[in-house]
Structures are given as structure tokens and as C-alpha cells.
């Protein structure tokens, strides 16, 4: 059973932007369900993997959040999730650019992962997609990136998001030189004075083991979706050019988390 959190004003839900994510897993043999209760020992017990994608502190909208962004999760929920993972559960925590990274930062910190409430991008900004590849050394070797025939994935595409640090985790997606993290006080409001942090060597994907359980952390959510955006229905996600291997990466990630690899 793969549970997808829908109890925290999540931007991605099974019947919304993560429909394709759920359908991919169902076709692979998993069962999926929306998790609509706050995290507790009882709520988590029904799940083999808990997927949290872009939780928010409220439904008031991005432009109304104070700075810094409040946590989407209570201290009791964070303690419950950590204890559940240590006892053998598996967590997939996905938090995009500001303010979504800030909303999940305290939960990530419980696993010694440092989410940063900003926007990761190449500077100077270009129209080139964000591609993590084995050729460039930015898509790292791991069971998640290997295939059954002995070959490996060669490229995964992401769509903006945040860069984070996780000194105790195994890197999967690593930013190369040239990327910065823009740190505005309000989402999407940039100026020449907006702080910019070089993030070469920082991460957009990583995994770790915690006690008997496993956890994955990602700083971008669209890579796991297959959306048609705007009036022109532009593909965003697994259906985009350059993202042809994202679906296999997604399945391998869930296989690893559910310990069925």
C-alpha cells in the first residue's frame, strides 16, 4: 500500500497533479490510497510507504504565507513519522521551491536533511532543461538507477525546485557548477538584490536508511507527474522531452522504498 498524503493542503494529490504517479504505481502492482488524517501511529500503520508531496501550512495561498514559511507539520506529527520510519516504514518526502521547501523543512530536519526555501536554477538562466545524467556525474550510481538487464539509467529531468543538503544521505541527483539558489522573501518575487547561493554539489534527490526503515528526499515534484500545463497544454513531467526515463526512476525508487527491488 502506497499512501499519498492529502491531509496538509497538498499541492499534489492522487486525483489531481499526482494522478499519473498513482496510475503508474497501480499498473506496477501497488495499491494506492489518499491519506487524509494527520500523522499518528495509527494513521501510518496502514501504509508501506508514505508519500508527502508539497504539503502546505494552510490553504491561504502562497502569497499569504509569512516569512519564514511555517511548518506544515506539528511536532507530534514529525515525531510520529520518524518513529514509524525507524520501526520499518518508508517515507518519500518531496518539497518543491519556496514556500513548499520551507513548509517541509522541519520534517526533513528530523532526518538530518536540510531543505532550503528557495529556487534552484542555472545562472545565467537559460531555456535548457534541468537534466541530471550519468555522463555528467550528476545522476549517481545506486540500486535505484540500475536496470534489470545490467544497464543503468542515463538521464532524469527535473523542473526547477529547490537544492538541499543531506550530509548523512546517499546522493542521487547532484547539482553541477553554475547552479544557484535564489532566496526571495516571497515566492516568485525576484530582484537584483535577491540573495543567490551557489549550490554546486548540493542535492535535488537523496535516500537514506533510518533504523529498520528507508526514506527518500526530493526537491522537485513535477518530475514524478505527467501534467499538461496552461492553455497550450505543455507537457510537464514524465511526459516531457528529456524525461523519458523518469517513469523508470520513479518505479525503481518505490521498489527500493518498499524493499521489493
pLDDT of 103 reads 97
Helices of type H across the chain: 19-27, 41-45, 75-86, 100-109, 246-257
Q: Is the pTM of this model over 0.85?
A: yes
pLDDT of 62 reads 79
Nearest to 85 by CA among 112, 45, 55, 54: 45
Nearest to 238 by CA among 224, 259, 256: 224
Name, in order, each residue with C-beta under 8 angstroms of 118's C-beta and a sequence gap of 6 or more. 97, 98, 101, 162, 163, 181, 182, 183, 184, 197
Grid cell, residue 152, equals: 543503468
pLDDT of 127 reads 86
Nearest to 108 by CA among 78, 75, 70: 78
Q: What are the strands of the beta sheet with 179-182, ordered from one edge?
A: 119-122, 179-182, 196-198
Question: pLDDT (tens digit, 0 to 9) for every residue of the chain, 261 residues total?
Answer: 999 999 999 999 999 999 999 999 999 999 999 999 999 999 999 999 999 999 999 988 877 899 999 999 999 999 999 999 999 999 999 999 999 999 999 999 999 999 999 999 999 888 889 999 999 999 999 999 999 999 999 999 999 999 999 999 999 999 999 999 999 999 999 999 999 999 999 999 999 999 999 999 999 999 999 999 999 999 999 999 999 999 999 999 999 999 987
pLDDT of 34 reads 98
Which domains occur in the chain, in start order?
2-257 (3.40.50.880)
How many angstroms separate the Cα of 30 from the Cα of each of 25, 40, 122, 233, 240? 5, 23, 36, 29, 24
Nearest to 2 by CA among 24, 33, 23, 27: 33
Asked whether the beta carbons of 222 and 159 are under 8 A apart, the reply is yes
Alpha-carbon gap, residue 167 to 189, rounded angstroms: 30
Nearest to 115 by CA among 162, 175, 184: 162
Full DSSP string of 160-185: S---BB-TTSEEEEE--TTEEEE--S
Question: In 3-state terms, what secondary structure has residue 132?
Answer: strand
pLDDT of 60 reads 85
pLDDT of 122 reads 96
pLDDT of 241 reads 96
The strand pairing partners of 122, in sequence order, are: 179
pLDDT of 125 reads 85
27 burial type by CB count under 10 A (0-12 exposed, 13-18 middle, 19+ buried): exposed
Amino acid at each position: 500500500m502506497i499512501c499519498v498524503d492529502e491531509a496538509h493542503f497538498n499541492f499534489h494529490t492522487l486525483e489531481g497533479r499526482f494522478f499519473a504517479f498513482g496510475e503508474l504505481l497501480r499498473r506496477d502492482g501497488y495499491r494506492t490510497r489518499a491519506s487524509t488524517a494527520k500523522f499518528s501511529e495509527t494513521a501510518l500503520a496502514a501504509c508501506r510507504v508514505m508519500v508527502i508531496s508539497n504539503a502546505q501550512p494552510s490553504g491561504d495561498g502562497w502569497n499569504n504565507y509569512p516569512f519564514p514559511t511555517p511548518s506544515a507539520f506539528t511536532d507530534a506529527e514529525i515525531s510520529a513519522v520518524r518513529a514509524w520510519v525507524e520501526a520499518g516504514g518508508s517515507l518519500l518526502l518531496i518539497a518543491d521551491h519556496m514556500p513548499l521547501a520551507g513548509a517541509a523543512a522541519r520534517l526533513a530536519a528530523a532526518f538530518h536533511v536540510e531543505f532550503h526555501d528557495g529556487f534552484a536554477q542555472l545562472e545565467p538562466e537559460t531555456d535548457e532543461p534541468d537534466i541530471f545524467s550519468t555522463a555528467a556525474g550528476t545522476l549517481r550510481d545506486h540500486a535505484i538507477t540500475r536496470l534489470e538487464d545490467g544497464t543503468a539509467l542515463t538521464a532524469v529531468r527535473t523542473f526547477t525546485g529547490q537544492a538541499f543538503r543531506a550530509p548523512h544521505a546517499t546522493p542521487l541527483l547532484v547539482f553541477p557548477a553554475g547552479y544557484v539558489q535564489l532566496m526571495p522573501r516571497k515566492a516568485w518575487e525576484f530582484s537584483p538584490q535577491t540573495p543567490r547561493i551557489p549550490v554546486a554539489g548540493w542535492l535535488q534527490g537523496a535516500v537514506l536508511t533510518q533504523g529498520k526503515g528507508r526514506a527518500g528526499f526530493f526537491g522537485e515534484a513535477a518530475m514524478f507527474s505527467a501534467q499538461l500545463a496552461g492553455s497550450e497544454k505543455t507537457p510537464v513531467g514524465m511526459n516531457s522531452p528529456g524525461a523519458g526515463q523518469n517513469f523508470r526512476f520513479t518505479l525503481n525508487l518505490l521498489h527500493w522504498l518498499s524493499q521489493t527491488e
